Structure 1
Amino acid sequence: MKFVIPFSIFILFASSGLAVELDTIFINRGTYTTIDSNQWTFLAFNSSPAFSSQNTVIKLLESDSLQLTVVNNDSVAHGFEVKGKGGVSSIAPGDTAYTSYSFSDENVFVYHDPLSSSNSRGLGLGGMIHVAKANRTAFYWNIKELQSDWIEDLAQGLPVDWTTYYPDYFLINGRSHPDITQDATARVEGSVGDTIHIAISNTGNSDHSIHFHGYHCEILKSSFDTKWVGRMKDTFPIQPLETLLLQLVPHQVGEYPVHDHNLVAVSAGGIYPNGMFLTLLIQ
């Protein structure tokens, strides 16, 4: 195995004002404990060799470039791809690959394993890159779902019939309610009049529809349809491998729920509201 020390460094070029970030992520296999205490095999892109169910959010600023090292700590081959920007088709077990990207404007991108994308995402593998303007307050929702009775088949590389997919666990940043309320990168907190950005990626295999109570948000970016940009809504459909960047400017104080409008996704193992559900706290 080639061992790579994880690091994240910015190289600044004074003449251009641009930055190059050097970063490393690891493809890790581990054990995920669900909100109802079941344990499953899970895959994630992490910032260190230590497994976490929370896939790393790669954070950049406008006009940054990214030089990325990808270490495959798993026992099977995987790839790495930023949707729409290419990547590495296959990385052997224990091997390391290198890839680079440039980003001009604020946006959100999905990264995933293109070698067996649906199956890998069915075990949790998939994250986001957020390219932001300077001095923005941002929160991150990487949403996905899992079908519990498929986990071990997927973990063993066995085929499944995706036309019969019926997931029963639903996650934000690798957690479900109420655990997700402890994630300071996910739970939106702010004040009336703040400008808050919410980066959303769907790294699962199902469509979702995120519904806000109490507030409307403006769509700043949509990977699915640029015609959506500028719309003010309280409900936002998002398909697999798509992203949204929303802007929230709260007009009132309160604590309001946000959840998937498909109410089965607000459950975990059939228990409500242990799924894709959290609250916004505006003071």
Structure 2
Amino acid sequence: MVDYRAGLPGRLIPILHNLRGKDVPVELPHTVYVGHWEGQERVFRDMLVCQNLDARYGQKKVAVSNRPQERKREALCQKLQTQEKRIATAQRKVQEYTERIEALEQEAQQKQTENQAGVAALRQASREATTPKQRERLLVRAERLAAKGQVQRVRLQERRRRLVAHRRTWQQKLTERQGKHQKVVQALQELEDRPFYDFDLEKDNLMTYLRMAGENAHRFVQERYFANTLLEKVDEATMARVVYNQPGWVRRQGQYLHVLLQGYSDPKVQAAIARACQRVNQAQVKLPGGHWLHMEV
């Protein structure tokens, strides 16, 4: 049935549906009916009798990109980029800790050399001292310097141990991330580019629009010219049999196109058609060819 809720009474819109709920969105009937679904055959089966729109064109396949595969490939590519960034971070950390360990070893070697040189100088000075008190004082300084060097070596070794542990942790992370990266690369290589097709429903949608246009034209004729008559509420198939396909004569005369319909045996139908013809003449309908329509029965 025709929905009149979208405008003033008598305003037709090209949507046919029986959704009467107040919560039904305006765009829902269009979305449902334009799509290719089985309900169309049930909704429009009564219209096929009077309209020559029952042709079946089939469904054309259109080659498109394999969207499921594309989504998988896109997800894997994003995962691959993430893994590459994580691998770069792990490599940078390993390199950073390696450089810090090397710098610490050089520092430890330099401090040890300086400490040994200082201890050796103090001991040499103690041997050259002229008094026992001076010799004892130099030996004490040498022992303190040697003890300080030992403490420094222990601290540097502890720092090196911590740095080596951190580097080992990042090396393990690097190995793990490289394994995950290899799995993602392998998954990308295993993706198959299988052909993918979509149904082209352009012809189906076009036929749907034509059917709706024919139904709306029928409703318009009933409302405009057959209001308050016997034929106001009849279905389209009956109107096609009684009115639209009624034999008659057509004659051009000047600016007018005269249409004379064959009479009816039923007086009520004859009266309804006569009243409709009178309304058509009063409306002064101008045809696309430029002629004015004049109807009689």
Q: TM-score, normalised by structure 1?
A: 0.18
Larger Rg: 2
Q: Which structure shows the higher helix fraction? A: 2
Kindly indicate whether structure 1 or structure 2 has the higher relative contact order, using CA contacts under 8 Å at least 6 residues apart.
Answer: 2
Q: TM-score, normalised by structure 2?
A: 0.18
